[in-house]
Amino acid sequence: MKHSTLLGICTLAASMLAASSAFAQDASPASSRTLETVKSRGTLICGVIGTSPGFSLPDSQGVMRGIDADQCRAVAAATLGDAEKVQWVLLAPQQRFTALQSGEVDVLFANVTWTMTRESQLGLQFPSIYYYDGQAFMVKKALGVNSALELDGASICMLTGGTSELTVQEYFSANNMTYTPVVLSEGEEARAAFLADRCDVYTIDSSSLAGFKASQGEAGEDFVILPERMTAEPLGGVVRKGDERWFDIVRWTHYTLVNAEILGIESGNVESFMDSEDPRIRRFLGMEGELGATLGLSNDFSKTVISQVGNFGEVWARNVVGVDRGYNNVWTKGGLQYAPPFR
């Protein structure tokens, strides 16, 4: 009896040791471990918000739609050759970093604003900016408010877990105004509270406001997004630090989308470029050189991405409704989206 207890304790201790040494191994940086994991698993695990119209929201068929969703698809196409091999993990704003840090997801496309502390303190890295955004206010037209400076005394619905609480506070104290915060943890709840008139104002990134407005159909006409942008919110994909190769892959997948738009290559016409004489295009599509192979991908990964997901303009047009492209256009058309040379 006693011996078996002792034996049990020993076994337990041994298994703990084994388990913790496995944890310890996990901590050691190894190059492109994420890519190996993704390849052997056969799917890309992508963290998205999942309730964010225009970014990631399932449609009536249950298919995840939005810019974030298509960024995930592009990475899956680049790494696995199939844009549909994505496993979605839905994350509330305050869970998303923990999920990435702990390895629960391979990459995060979840309306994340690129900030300094997120890179310097959280062990995260931002390979790309796929949306130049800014936090804005939305009010009901009936209030007759035309500027954010008229919002003194308003109740404001906002989401916890992101930067919006802090941004509102900074904006209001800078302009010597007061407000009542109504801070909710889920986008659906915050929007429901705004619709029920619990607050006068709903604040989040202007892109999400536009998505929400569009999702309301006719009723969306009753809302107005105020012109002020309180912050610059560059939304980026996020990966863990310590896997530089994986960082490269996510970054250059985004540049593939942008470069394709700049070169005029679309999902519909990519085949017609296959006999192009232009060395830029030949390199880009993997007919010349070893660009894809240097990332540990197939040499024609960009062709796969473009034919399955489209270029950046297609992704935008498919998902963003009612927002002027502005900064988010490619640089050749006056925007900020720019791809370094594929050479």
Q: Of 38-46, 155-163, 286-294, 311-319, which segment contacts other proteins by CB under 8 A? A: 155-163
Q: How far is C-alpha 290 from the chain's CA centre?
A: 29
Tokens (6 digits) for 7: 């034996």
Q: Residue 124 or 297: which CB sits closer to other proteins? A: 124
Residue 102 and residue 71: Cα distance in Å, rounded? 21
Q: Of 14-22, 69-77, 264-272, 282-290, which segment contacts other proteins by CB under 8 A? A: 14-22
What does the chain come to in residues?
343
Q: Residue 125 or 311: which CB sits closer to other proteins? A: 125
Q: Of 18-26, 47-55, 296-304, 307-315, which segment contacts other proteins by CB under 8 A? A: 18-26
Under rule CB under 8 A, residue 218 binds other proteins: no
Under rule CB under 8 A, residue 134 binds other proteins: no
206: closest CA among 178, 233, 177, 180? 233
Under rule CB under 8 A, residue 12 binds other proteins: yes
Q: Which long-range contacts (CB under 8 A, 24 or more apart) does 167-174 make?
A: 167/135, 167/203, 167/230, 167/231, 168/135, 168/203, 168/230, 170/230, 171/230
Q: Residue 188 or 324: which CB sits closer to other proteins? A: 188
- For 48-83, b/e burial (b = at least 16 CB within 10 A) is bbbbbbbbbbeeeeeebbbbbbbbbbbbbbbbbeeb
| Chain residues in the site for other proteins (CB under 8 A) | 2, 5-6, 9, 12-13, 16-17, 20, 23-24, 26-29, 93-94, 97-98, 101, 117-118, 121-123, 143, 152-155, 160-162, 165-166, 168-170, 173, 179-185, 189, 192-193, 196-198, 200, 240-242
